[in-house]
Amino acid sequence: MDVFEAICERRSIRAFAGRPVGDADVWRILEAANAAPSAGNLQAYEIYWVRAETARWALARAAHDQEFVAQAPVVLVFCAHAARSGRRYGRRGETLYAVQDATIAATFAMLAAVALGLGSVWVGAFDEEQVRSVIGAPAGLRPVAILPIGYPAEHPPATPRRSLKEIVHEVA
């Protein structure tokens, strides 16, 4: 599957088949995330790979009881590493670039999952402190995205998008 197919095929999957995801596929997803661009190539993010069922249920509770988080066999939590970016870029690096780095890496992971025949959904609604506690992340890391990943048990249709005429503003 090429990148354009992966982009067009990606859907928010909230129902997962009971099939496990192989470690080799997870590592391919993580390699794709690691290839994502980042400010100053600092890669100001950390990724937590959550396998344990009890931890996945704790993440689901931290995500305001979104149970599909626990039902995915793999959950990746992307955290911004503010200090890593802040050393070079100061406050803007801490508050923006590190978050951008983590979110770009998460996006690459989502597209890699699609290319492997897997599904995922971006979860941004959660209690940061609870998530940090579940994954054992230090205070300097800020969870910014939870990605449950698994084989889809649903195939939702594409959602409507705004037209390019609405969102693109050409400056000549």
Residue 69 lies in a domain: yes
Q: What dihedral angle (degrees, nearest 10) is formed by the CA atoms of 26, 146, 32, 108?
A: 140
The encoded tokens of residue 106 equal 């998460």
63 touches 140 (CB < 8 A): no
Q: Which domain holds residue 107?
A: 3-154
Residue 68 lies in a domain: yes
pLDDT of residue 89: 97
**In the beta sheet, which residues pair with residue 49?**
76
Residue 146 lies in a domain: yes
Residue 163 lies in a domain: no
Residue 172 lies in a domain: no
Q: What average pLDDT does this structure show over 138-153?
A: 97
Residue 159 lies in a domain: no
- As a whole number of angstroms, the distance between CA 28 and CA 95 comes to 29
94 band by pLDDT with thresholds 50, 70 and 90: very high
Residue 166 lies in a domain: no
Residue 44 lies in a domain: yes
75 touches 56 (CB < 8 A): yes
147 touches 123 (CB < 8 A): yes
pLDDT of residue 1: 83
Q: What average pLDDT does this structure show over 44-66?
A: 98
- As a whole number of angstroms, the distance between CA 15 and CA 9 comes to 16
pLDDT of residue 107: 98
Number of domains within the chain: 1
- As a whole number of angstroms, the distance between CA 75 and CA 52 comes to 9
Per-residue pLDDT of 152-163, as tens digits, reads 999 999 999 999
Q: What is the CATH number of the domain that holds 7?
A: 3.40.109.10
Considering the chain, what is the average pLDDT of its residues? 97
Q: What average pLDDT does this structure show over 108-125?
A: 97
Per-residue pLDDT of 26-40, as tens digits, reads 999 999 999 999 999
**Residue 34's closest CA among 56, 55, 49?**
49
